[in-house]
Amino acid sequence: MSECTHDCSTCSQNCSERTAESFRKPLRPGASVKKVIAVVSGKGGVGKSLVTCLMASEMQRRGFNCAVLDADITGPSIPKSFGIHEHCMGTDEYLLPVTTHTGLQLMSMNLILETETEPVVWRGPVIAGAVTQFWTDVLWQDVDYMFVDMPPGTGDVPLTVFQSLPVDGIVIVTTPQDLVGMIVEKAVRMAELMKIPVLGLVENMSYFKCPDCGKKYSIFGDSKVEALAKQYGIRNYARLPIDPVITAMVDAGEVESVSGEYIAPVVDAIREEC
């Protein structure tokens, strides 16, 4: 057998040094991230990016230094939600995260591309490598909570994040449709396989509240978040409404100004358990 390089990510041997921690990638010298929360779902279009932005903004409002790592390389939307259209800066050795007007730190593929609409036409391993570099090559500055906006599914990028980053917990995003129960179970099972706790469940598009009479309408079906949380032993959950005001604020790059009242139960859980 060839001499051990102590880099288990490039090795096919099965030895005593091959543990979960051996796959972890270190931050660059001078960078600091205390807690990492991954935001996941088994399918696309459920609102992971919105939930990521809301949680990071609410935690930042509470006085913590927060960051968002946009791991959705082919569909990056985080910078636009915060009204960021500039490119990140850096040196030959590292990149600097872009900061929002509240001081929240961001890194996304759209901060590197020449134009925001330029497509990323890469294969899975290259995409996963870019996500790893967002962790290892960025000078993250004294981050208390990093929120990782994941692409949908359980493929290359989620596996890379769970293995390469010291993820402290995940938040699962869902919607009220019947088929989503199966999708939630996939995310829960992956978390179990990776031995990462599920900190919360967020049901997006849960209801619409009439601005005239105040009555709530379940446009996509009755809420299932409480039953799903109970079924999978998830103690904390939240419901996000269909709200044109929130949509308009996100489209205008003002997600940091959206009220944190809806997402507060899950943010509370993250504070208590991490």
- pLDDT score of 135: 98
Encode the chain in three state secondary structure: CCCCCCCHHHCCCCCCCCCHHHHCCCCCCCCCEEEEEEEECCCCCCCHHHHHHHHHHHHHHCCCCEEEEECCCCCCCHHHHCCCCCCCEECCCCEECEECCCCCEEECHHHCCCCCCCCCCCCHHHHHHHHHHHHHCECCCCEEEEEEECCCCCCHHHHHHHHHCCCCEEEEEECCCCCHHHHHHHHHHHHHHCCCCEEEEEECCCCEECCCCCCEECCCCCCCHHHHHHHCCCCCEEECCCCHHHHHHHHCCCHHHCCCCCCHHHHHHHHHHC
pLDDT for 141-189, tens place per residue?
999 999 999 998 778 899 999 999 999 999 999 999 867 777 888 889 9
Higher pLDDT, 198 or 1: 198
Whether residue 199 is predicted with pLDDT greater than 90 in this model: the reply is: yes
pLDDT at 241: 97
pLDDT(140) > 60: yes
Q: What is the pLDDT of residues 18-65, one digit of tens each?
A: 455 768 999 999 999 999 999 998 888 899 999 999 999 999 999 999
pLDDT 10s digits, 61-118: 999 999 999 999 998 999 999 999 999 999 989 999 999 999 999 999 999 998 888 8
pLDDT-derived band at 3 (thresholds 50, 70, 90) equals low
1 band by pLDDT with thresholds 50, 70 and 90? very low
Higher pLDDT, 21 or 265: 265
pLDDT score for 4: 56
Give the lowest-confidence range in 63-67, 117-121, 204-208: 117-121
Res 136 pLDDT > 60: yes
Segment 119-123 mean pLDDT: 88
Question: Is 6 a residue whose pLDDT tops 50?
Answer: no
Provide, rounded to the nearest whole percent, the portion of the chain with pLDDT above 70: 92
By CB neighbour count within 10 A (0-12 exposed, 13-18 middle, 19+ buried), where does 268 fall? middle
What pLDDT, on a 0 to 100 scale, did the predictor assign at position 252? 97
